[in-house]
Amino acid sequence: MNRWKIGFFLLAGLIVAVVAYVLFLIGSPGDSEPLPEVKMDNTSDHVLTVKVAKEDFEGIANTYIGKAVKGEPLPVTMVVRDDVVLLSEMMVFSLKLPVIMHFDPLVGEDGNLILKLSSMEIGQLKIQPSTVLTILRDSVKLPPWMIVRPKEEEVFVDLTQVPLSGNLKVRAKTFNLADDEIILEIIIPKE
């Protein structure tokens, strides 16, 4: 056998191995991180109830995401309309593809926000939602209070861990986008 045939078969084998590895990664969703324990607030703390418009919540969320990544480009941008949309980019074979994920927001009994994936778009690619969330979790530096859970096809937003000045905490009470009714509670601890 001459060296060109050997080189061809080595290159073909390498390409098949890389494609098989990528298909393996795409087909196997990673394990989800467990949710943090629910901490009950001190009932003697003061609570300030605030009604927020969609645009204001969007601006606040993007500001805190920007602060959490400390000057780096925003890994995701949140858009709040009739649903919650996370916009990002994904590198696939040195191509930058836009990723658009639509979520239905739910308020947990602890006041944190659970974003359930309802649909997504990645250019023309057909990839399982859990795989996209796994890639997002592993390749994009998100704030520590945004927990991507691929198996459950959700993003958990731990509002109690968003760093607010003055030892304040925040939790969601109502998150009804159809009626533009977002009600947050700001917990002011007694000194």
| 79-87-157-69 Cα dihedral, nearest 10 degrees | -110
CB atoms within 10 A of CB 60: 15
The CA distance from 163 to 171, in Å, is 12
DSSP-assigned letter for residue 169: E
On whether the CB atoms of residues 78 and 65 are closer than 8 A, the answer is yes
DSSP-assigned letter for residue 42: P
On whether the CB atoms of residues 97 and 103 are closer than 8 A, the answer is no
pLDDT reported for residue 107: 92
> What are the CA-CA distances from residue 182 to residues 55, 117, 136 (Å)?
11, 19, 27
Q: The tokens of 172 are what? A: 């969601």
Question: Residue 120: enclosing H or E segment and its boundaries?
Answer: strand 113-122
Backbone angles phi, psi at 75, to 5 degrees: -70, -35
On whether the CB atoms of residues 98 and 89 are closer than 8 A, the answer is yes
pTM, whole model, 2 decimals? 0.74
pLDDT reported for residue 165: 80
pLDDT reported for residue 24: 62
DSSP-assigned letter for residue 112: -
pLDDT reported for residue 68: 82
pLDDT of the chain, 191 residues: tens digit per residue: 688 888 888 888 888 877 767 666 655 555 556 656 655 555 667 888 999 999 999 998 888 888 887 767 667 889 999 999 988 887 767 778 788 889 999 998 888 999 999 888 877 777 778 877 887 787 777 888 888 888 888 899 998 888 888 788 888 999 999 888 999 998 888 76
Q: The tokens of 21 are what? A: 């590895």
Report the DSSP beta bridge partners of residue 148: 155
